[in-house]
Structure 1
Amino acid sequence: MAKFAINLKEGNIEKESELIVGIDLGTTNSLVAYMKEGQAVAVKDQAGKSTLVPSIIHFTADQSVIVGDEAREKLVTDPANTIYSVKRLMGKSYKDIKQVEQYFGYRIIDEDTDSLVKIRVKDKFFTPIELSAEILKTLKRRIERELGETISKAVITVPAYFNDAQRQATRDAGKLAGLDVLRIVNEPTAASLAYGIGLHPDDNEVVAVYDLGGGTFDISILQIHNGIFEVLSTHGDTFLGGDDFDRAIVDFWLQQQATGQVSSSQSLRLLAEQAKKHLSQHESYENTLDGVTYAISRAQFEALAQPLVDRTLASCRRALVDAKLKPEQIEKVILVGGATRVPLVKKAVSDFFGREVFDKLNPDEIVALGAAIQADILAGNQKDLLLLDITPLSLGIETMGGLMDVIIPRNTKVPAKVGRRYTTSIDGQRNLKVAVYQGERDLVEHNRKLGEFILKGIPPMPAGLPKIEIHFIINADGILQVKAQELRSNVAQSIDVQPQYGISEEEMGRMLLESIQHAQEDMARRALLEARNEANNIILSADKFVQQHAAILSPEEIEITRTLTSDLRVAVAGTDKDVINKAMEDLNAYTSPLAHRAMDTAIADAIKGISL
């Protein structure tokens, strides 16, 4: 299972080692790092001041994209067209984020479905993958400007709690940005590597990684043994971070203003952030804004911050319980995230675990630095470290519209076993063809077919009810077994294939190169096909709804529903995903109250005559 480099300029395959960068794609800030003379280094901006790129994307009036510090300035002046915290939406459906939708100041399409979330900016629809790709493109340009060469390979970090969908979304964002993502690494693993923990084969210890960033907190307990990082437990709060410390200071100041005079909320928040940083080194802070003096002492700030710190420690207790460990069994504690610079945080964590914490490295940069070290290992530059074999190309199956659904991503360590659940798309469907493909393109027509089989004997049910589980199992010899089973009836079928058989390194390299060269058009085609698939399901549901509930609908409601459904059919026949999404949005918006009425009627009929 060899590795090879792709020269994007020349379009050929190179055998020698190539620079691979490490990327921390964060909720609040993102960074890129690389190995320079044996040391991991985070790359600064053009002015040489900051290594941080705010994870904020702004769309101008002409739909140009701005990322970073300039985009952050638009949060106040143009919030509807400024996207932040997109990492929270990666791999998420509408249902997943419904409870926290009010957190976001921009337009998330309000559909109560399992489809992946979309963000509306003006008349365009964007996925979190596309938006994250813009951040990655900015990081790619930064490192290329620094080094004066094209960068095509990267290691990207994700939280330990990210699921398969979120990890795959991160890979897709990298590909769309023109990066071959060699590995997705857990953030706590990267932080450990940055301190040299786990680099030696004889390392055997339990490590806690306390990560308090700008907008999120998580604690991870790792067992490191023979170079393998096992996540024993993880816990946290996806809406707790340094920003909450800032808000606490703002609230404190507002309570002090008897006149009720309030400065611009964004200006006051920036002043609070400045105060928080100042108080890490000094005992008091005072400044003037719009003629009003704002002051706070470290003692006052710590009193405000203590409840927030206590919430993080509660998560630490839960993580220890889940890992079946006591605080004294933790051998090393690593601090990650800018908010851990607050002295109160450092002391509280040290007291909780009963030991000194690792905090010598820049907590904002530590994850990116660890990613760069992991990238250097993958490049083969650390000869004393052994890498497990990996799958050189992604493995997946064909889904509706000829889309490739990746089940085992490229560069997954083997042996591996991954399962995913599917269902039928037609009422009464008895058989399901499972076609297995290898490759990096979004459409199966561009990938290599490995084999297929038919799962027969599925009990006839309405579309969407059968539960079909498909497992990909690849052993240490690279032999892939694909199993499919309908869970209600237990009918099953399987096939064995050898993904490596009959394919050369040159052919694999060509497939990888093409996946990067065609990433933009592939993503556009995938988005169009996914929109069509979703629209066709909605059309089917709308037709059924009118047919089954005509008795409770007025002639006007039936006519409008049919007109909107017809409009959606016309949109599906076209090639503009945004037009399809808009037509779906219109149909869903109109029929949602009708569906609620139908549900209320059904419930009323069901309980009629029943005494409660």
Structure 2
Amino acid sequence: MHISRSKFEGITTRLIERSIAPCKQCIKDAGVELKEINDVVLVGGMTRMPKVVEEVKRFFQKEPFRGVNPDEAVALGAATLGGVLRGNVGGLILVDVTPLSLGTSVVGDIFVPIIPKNTAIPCKRSHTFTTVEDGQTAIKFEVFQGEREMASDNQMMGQFDLVGIPPAPRGVPQVEVTFDIDANGICHVTAKDKATCRKQGIVVAASGGLSKEQIEQMLRDAAQHAKADRVKRELVEARNNAETQLTTAERQLGEWKYVSDAEKENVKTHVAELRKAMENPNVAKDDLVAATDKLQKAVMECGRTEYQQAAAANSGCK
């Protein structure tokens, strides 16, 4: 069967165009710009197609590097890796990366990445968390892998509890969570209470036992649901922020000494309005943010009054 070049290129145009999306994602993940890329290496027999070379030149704005045989590149790389692992090849450093982000969940099912996707291993990252309830003495940590905004949409790898945290008001305890991945891809996850140095942890495989196909499917799912996930996360974050502002306002209402009753009533009114908004399961994020901002503004005005009046009352102290 004979086929003309123009017809063949017409048939494969959509496939060639699809190959640019991973290039864009790779550049984004690497945190670089096109002008910072020195060489573009073509790998695989299909890259011999003039149309592929043309598209690469158009996107990267440079001629692709032709010093590597595209039919042999993968085999040479695999052979080199084998030589390094057996100790027969020296002077080379081969870097592996995490295929998906690793992290934990917080209130509202929000996924907090600790080690981002494509981070070179071995690596170590830490993040500090706190309690969400007064007198809370234990925290459950769940370890997830994936790129979705909500933790439950990602792959759960394990969980553990950190107990024995001294009772304190919410937000006071400081718990440091560390993800430490060694050269073998083993991830050690630990949580340590900074006050008592009490520690607990778990060991998981950084790959999560997922196949290449499963990882690729998770990445496709994340891209497909990115917009909806972002909207869902923003609403949860708005609710969490609203709850924090309510707790702050109610605590300060009992502490203010110089704020007038009228100002306190204004704060209480905004507290009631915000609580009403939060009780609505269908509340829009913008409405929740607006109610939260009004309460925060009222609290700040009372705080300013409290500070100024306290300063005036104690102006004669030494």
Residue deviations 1:31-63, cap 9 Å, x none? xxxxxxxxxxxxxxxxxxxxxxxxxxxxxxxxx
Q: In terms of Rg, which structure is larger?
A: 2
**Quick check: 1:490 aligned with 2:201?**
no
Q: Which of 410, 417, 440 is the equivalent residue of 2:124?
A: 417
Q: What is the rounded CA distance, in whole Å, between the counterparts of 1:447 and 1:372 in structure 2?
A: 39
Q: What is the rounded CA distance, in whole Å, between the counterparts of 1:369 and 1:464 in structure 2?
A: 48
Structure in which a larger fraction of residues adopt strand: 1
The alpha carbon displacement at 1:507 in A equals 1.6
Q: 1:538 to 1:519 in 2, by over 3 A?
A: same
The 5 A counterparts of 1:217-232 are none
SS in 1 for 2:97: coil
Q: What is the rounded CA distance, in whole Å, between the counterparts of 2:266 and 2:27 in structure 1?
A: 47
Q: What is the rounded CA distance, in whole Å, between the counterparts of 2:232 and 2:94 in structure 1?
A: 35
Q: 1:181 to 1:485 in 2, by over 3 A?
A: farther
Q: What is the rounded CA distance, in whole Å, between the counterparts of 1:401 and 1:491 in structure 2?
A: 26
Q: 1:381 to 1:526 in 2, by over 3 A?
A: farther
TM-score normalized by structure 1? Answer: 0.39
**Quick check: 1:400 aligned with 2:269?**
no
Residue deviations 1:322-369, cap 9 Å, x none? xxxxxxxxxxxxxxxxxxxxxxxxxxxxxxxxxxxxxxxxxxxxxx95
Amino acid at match of 1:185: G
Q: Which of 296, 302, 308 is the equivalent residue of 1:594?
A: 302
2:145 and 2:208 in contact (8 A); partners too:
no
The alpha carbon displacement at 1:418 in A equals 0.7
The match for 2:181 is 474
Q: Which of 249, 253, 266 is the equivalent residue of 1:560?
A: 266
The alpha carbon displacement at 1:537 in A equals 0.4
The alpha carbon displacement at 1:471 in A equals 0.8
The match for 1:184 is 30
Q: What is the rounded CA distance, in whole Å, between the counterparts of 2:231 and 2:312 in structure 1?
A: 46
SS in 1 for 2:125: strand
The 5 A counterparts of 1:184-203 are 184-186=30-32, 193-194=37-38
The match for 2:50 is none
The match for 2:292 is 584
The alpha carbon displacement at 1:180 in A equals 7.2
The match for 2:133 is 426
The alpha carbon displacement at 1:481 in A equals 0.4
The alpha carbon displacement at 1:502 in A equals 3.5
Structure in which a larger fraction of residues adopt helix: 2
The alpha carbon displacement at 1:565 in A equals 1.3
Q: What is the rounded CA distance, in whole Å, between the counterparts of 1:577 and 1:380 in structure 2?
A: 53
Q: Which of 150, 153, 164 is the equivalent residue of 1:457?
A: 164
SS in 2 for 1:548: coil
Give the alignment's Cα RMSD to 1 decimal.
3.3
The match for 1:506 is 213
1:180 and 1:516 in contact (8 A); partners too:
no
SS in 1 for 2:152: helix
The 5 A counterparts of 1:57-456 are 149=18, 151-155=20-24, 183-186=29-32, 193-194=37-38, 388-456=95-163
Q: Which runs of 4+ in 1 moved over 6 A?
A: 370-373, 379-386
Q: What is the rounded CA distance, in whole Å, between the counterparts of 1:529 and 1:153 in structure 2?
A: 30
Q: Which of 497, 518, 521 is the equivalent residue of 2:228?
A: 521
Q: What is the rounded CA distance, in whole Å, between the counterparts of 1:528 and 1:600 in structure 2?
A: 36
Amino acid at match of 1:467: Q
Q: What is the rounded CA distance, in whole Å, between the counterparts of 2:302 and 2:73 in structure 1?
A: 63
Ranges in structure 2 where 5+ consecutive residues have no aligned partner: 1-12, 42-58, 78-92
Amino acid at match of 2:271: T
**Quick check: 1:575 aligned with 2:283?**
yes
Q: What is the rounded CA distance, in whole Å, between the counterparts of 2:72 and 2:28 in structure 1?
A: 15
Q: What is the rounded CA distance, in whole Å, between the counterparts of 1:479 and 1:153 in structure 2?
A: 27
The alpha carbon displacement at 1:153 in A equals 2.3
Amino acid at match of 2:145: Q
1:426 and 1:463 in contact (8 A); partners too:
yes
The match for 1:543 is 250
Q: What is the rounded CA distance, in whole Å, between the counterparts of 1:465 and 1:544 in structure 2?
A: 14
Residue deviations 1:254-294, cap 9 Å, x none? xxxxxxxxxxxxxxxxxxxxxxxxxxxxxxxxxxxxxxxxx
Amino acid at match of 2:21: S
Residue deviations 1:8-53, cap 9 Å, x none? xxxxxxxxxxxxxxxxxxxxxxxxxxxxxxxxxxxxxxxxxxxxxx
Q: What is the rounded CA distance, in whole Å, between the counterparts of 1:514 and 1:183 in structure 2?
A: 17
The alpha carbon displacement at 1:485 in A equals 1.1
Q: 1:387 to 1:528 in 2, by over 3 A?
A: farther
Q: What is the rounded CA distance, in whole Å, between the counterparts of 2:132 and 2:63 in structure 1?
A: 44
Ranges in structure 1 where 5+ consecutive residues have no aligned partner: 1-143, 156-178, 200-367
The alpha carbon displacement at 1:459 in A equals 1.9
TM-score normalized by structure 2? Answer: 0.73
Q: 1:500 to 1:149 in 2, by over 3 A?
A: closer
Q: What is the rounded CA distance, in whole Å, between the counterparts of 1:459 and 1:503 in structure 2?
A: 38
The 5 A counterparts of 1:8-27 are none
The alpha carbon displacement at 1:148 in A equals 5.2
Q: 1:381 to 1:453 in 2, by over 3 A?
A: farther
Q: What is the rounded CA distance, in whole Å, between the counterparts of 1:466 and 1:544 in structure 2?
A: 18
Q: What is the rounded CA distance, in whole Å, between the counterparts of 2:144 and 2:194 in structure 1?
A: 24
